[in-house]
Structure 1
């Protein structure tokens, strides 16, 4: 029973998913604080925040005469948060786990041989040969 549990846990996708959820949740608060305190004020240097929504970004007069603000601060915040969390999760957990799996496979003697794909010319020759074979096998009327 313990061996089965160990095999289940050592499957990379279970560990990757668990790590991504935990680290993503913890790291998001840090990234959000950095973006809120650094990136958003930099955006507000160039665009005055909308007094109604507080969103900073370019404003355009709408069709009905009211001011429409495109909140670039929120978009940049989300993009930076996502990229930062993805980078941390990959380099701290996924990359080392992949290296661990490679070493374990090498230690076990498993060697993955990549068979090269046929070239375009080889495929065309095979198609030609199959067509000739089919043509010679079909009775002529």
Structure 2
């Protein structure tokens, strides 16, 4: 039972899915920051916003006042996303890739094994040569 659980956890699909969920959650923060930092202020250029005192880049609006682009929130979300992505990569992805490489090396599977196989064209040439050799009266 423990071995089955270990095999389940160590499958690449589970780790990849977990990484995708974490990155997706971090990316959600980036998307929310883009919306609140860029899209919402663009809308506020044409409609007078409430004065909520959000710091950012003030831009003159069409209606005569100013609109503030809260770029600080966006930069904070981007830094947060990059930090989460770096931690996930170095704590989960990189060690898992090393583990997979070691397991493949123990099993004797080499990544170069596929490259050493002949190409389809080389195989067809070999087949042609064998057919010619067998069809010739001397048999070489």
2:109: which partner in 1?
110
How many residue pairs get aligned? The number is: 94
Contact 1:58–1:70, Cα closer than 8 Å, also in 2: yes
Contact 1:55–1:73, Cα closer than 8 Å, also in 2: no
Contact 2:56–2:70, Cα closer than 8 Å, also in 1: yes
The answer for unaligned runs of 5 or more in structure 2 is 27-49, 120-140
**Which is worse superposed, 91-100 or 11-20?**
11-20
Q: CA deviation at 1:17?
A: 3.4
1:92: which partner in 2?
91
* Secondary structure in structure 1 of the residue aligned to 2:77: helix
* Secondary structure in structure 2 of the residue aligned to 1:69: strand
The two structures have a TM-score, normalised by structure 1, of: 0.53
Contact 2:55–2:68, Cα closer than 8 Å, also in 1: yes
Contact 1:55–1:69, Cα closer than 8 Å, also in 2: yes
The answer for unaligned runs of 5 or more in structure 1 is 28-50, 119-141
Contact 1:16–1:93, Cα closer than 8 Å, also in 2: no
The two structures have a TM-score, normalised by structure 2, of: 0.54
Q: Do the aligned partners of residues 17 and 54 (structure 1) sit closer, same or farther apart at CA in structure 2, a change above 3 Å counting?
A: farther
Contact 2:23–2:85, Cα closer than 8 Å, also in 1: no
1:74: which partner in 2?
73
Contact 1:59–1:67, Cα closer than 8 Å, also in 2: yes
Deviations 1:107-129 (A, max 9, x none): 0111123539x9xxxxxxxxxxx
